[in-house]
């Protein structure tokens, strides 16, 4: 993949979209970790905590890209992304155990560690979308992570106002999973010999995840409405 090509820019757009949609919980962690600090230290803690988190995530992503070159691991990675895409369509899974940090360095430590632990799905998705292009990983993370940190409130409001954003993100994760599975060395020759197979896998995962998530949301809304009526 060369720079300044349609494939490069489509990969960059995919990485930014994946990180924006997947990093909602990380933005909440950053806000919680720094909220008890004096106002003049909050911005510094968020900046340096995010700097450390970005550096660690780049290292982890490079490690995952190297591992995904081993036969079978891209197939496993794609399979692991499928439940991540499904989980993305559930809106009530923020971790209540994250508590505000007491000091500046404690806040930075909380941000870096929590981002590393909660960002494994981001790392896996970005490594799959980058297709081994290291420059694409660095550029995508350099753009998307600051957007998440400094625009987290806007992003969360946008998602609440336009739920379709979540579905677009889930579709992007499902599509990345399908691409990873189809390009694994163990099965790539079969997919190449059957040109219809990659597109079929794309459709099954993307439509299945999005339609299943939409149906689950409808059932949940119906259940809430019935419980509300029965409680009256």
DSSP assignment, residue 103? S
- Helices 164-183, 152-161: inter-axial angle, 10-degree rounding: 100
User: For residues 16 and 125, is the Cβ–Cβ distance under 8 A?
Assistant: no
Provide the whole-model pTM.
0.65
| pLDDT score for 95 | 47
* pLDDT over 80 at 6, yes or no: no
SS3 breakdown of the chain: % helix, strand, coil, rounded to 5? Answer: 80, 0, 20
* pLDDT over 80 at 123, yes or no: no
Tell me if 119 is assigned to some domain. yes
What are the start-end ranges of the E strands in 7-96?
A: none
| Average of per-residue pLDDT across 52-80 | 80
* pLDDT over 90 at 100, yes or no: no
At residue 108 the predicted structure's pLDDT band, cuts being 50, 70 and 90, is confident
Of 64, 60, 90, 85, give the one whose Cα is nearest residue 176: 85
Tell me if 90 is assigned to some domain. yes
| pLDDT score for 113 | 72
DSSP assignment, residue 55? H
Tell me if 92 is assigned to some domain. yes
What's the total number of domains in the chain? 1
| pLDDT score for 206 | 93
Tell me if 222 is assigned to some domain. yes
Tell me if 196 is assigned to some domain. yes
Dump the DSSP string for 2-15.
Answer: -TTSHHHHHHHHHH
Tell me if 1 is assigned to some domain. no
pLDDT 10s digits, 160-175: 677 787 788 788 778 8
Return the exposure string of 194-203: e unless at least 16 CB atoms fall within 10 Å of the residue's CB, then b: eeeebeebbe
CA distances from 75 to 3, 13, 15, 62, 127 (A): 27, 23, 19, 18, 13
| pLDDT score for 51 | 76
Tell me if 52 is assigned to some domain. yes
DSSP assignment, residue 185? T
Question: In the 3-class helix/strand/coil scheme, how is 105-123 assigned residue by residue?
Answer: HHHHHHHHHHHHHHCHHHH
Domain of 90, in residue numbers: 6-231
What are the start-end ranges of the E strands in 149-226?
A: none
Burial label for 150, CB within 10 Å (0-12, 13-18, 19+), is middle
Tell me if 169 is assigned to some domain. yes
At residue 98 the predicted structure's pLDDT band, cuts being 50, 70 and 90, is very low
pLDDT 10s digits, 179-213: 888 888 889 899 999 999 999 999 999 999 999 98
């Amino acid at each position: 993949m060369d720079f300044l090509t349609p494939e490069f820019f489509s990969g960059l757009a995919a990485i930014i979209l994946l990180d924006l949609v997947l990093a909602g919980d990380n933005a909440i962690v950053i806000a919680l970790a720094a909220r008890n600090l004096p106002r003049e230290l909050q911005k510094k803690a968020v900046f340096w905590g995010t700097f450390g988190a970005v550096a660690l995530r780049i290292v982890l992503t490079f490690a995952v890209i190297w591992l995904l070159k081993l036969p079978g691991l891209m197939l496993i990675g794609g399979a692991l992304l499928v439940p991540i895409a499904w989980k993305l369509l559930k809106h009530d899974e923020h971790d209540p155990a994250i508590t505000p940090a007491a000091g500046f360095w404690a806040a930075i430590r909380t941000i870096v560690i929590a981002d590393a632990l909660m960002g494994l799905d981001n790392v896996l998705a970005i490594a799959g979308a980058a297709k081994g292009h290291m420059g694409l990983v660095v550029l995508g993370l350099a753009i998307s992570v600051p957007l998440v940190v400094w625009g987290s409130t806007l992003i969360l409001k946008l998602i609440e106002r336009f739920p379709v954003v979540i579905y677009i993100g889930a579709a992007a994760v499902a599509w990345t999973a399908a691409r990873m599975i189809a390009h694994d060395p163990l099965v790539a020759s079969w997919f190449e010999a059957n040109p219809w197979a990659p597109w079929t896998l794309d459709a099954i995962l993307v439509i299945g995840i999005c339609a299943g998530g939409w149906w689950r949301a409808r059932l949940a809304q119906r259940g809430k409405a019935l419980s509300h009526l029965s409680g009256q």
